[in-house]
Amino acid sequence: MPSPAPRLTRYCLLGHVDPVHLDLYKQRHAAVWPALLEALRDAGWHNYSLFLRDDGLLIGYVEAVDLDEAQARVAATEVNTRWQAEMSALFASEGAPDEAWERLDLVFNLEDQLQALRPRPPEPPDAEPRRQAPRRQTPNPPTSSA
């Protein structure tokens, strides 16, 4: 039987786009380079989304088995180096934007709490219960007539 897939952890990331560059930031993210999309996927990024407020507050959401490992894998790609160089001019922070993320702690998840409320199915017994052989029916003995 195949081993179960590793459990993904949810991550929330906080960044700051320079408000002067919001339109350009949105334009660039409307059509991210296909090679970068594939690099993120291949590095272990899942369900990655970005949310931008009009003052430049940027919230990132991503799921990964290990975000540090996934980040290191994508950072090692040439396409990410080029993308970060272009994006760095749009951010209010110094350096590569993917190195300036602030991580926020998860404090609530609806599905996790609902799952915790559900009773777990009983564990299967180690061995199947023994089945009794069906009883044989014996025909009624003939009765004598008097």
**Would you call 16 a catalytic residue per the annotation?**
no
3-state DSSP of the chain: CCCCCCCCEEEEEEEEECHHHHHHHHHHHHCCCHHHHHHHHHHCCEEEEEEECCCCEEEEEEEECCHHHHHHHHHCCHHHHHHHHHHHCCECCCCCHHHCCEEECCCCCHHHHHHHHCCCCCCCCCCCCCCCCCCCCCCCCCCCCC
Q: Which residues are part of the catalytic machinery?
A: 29
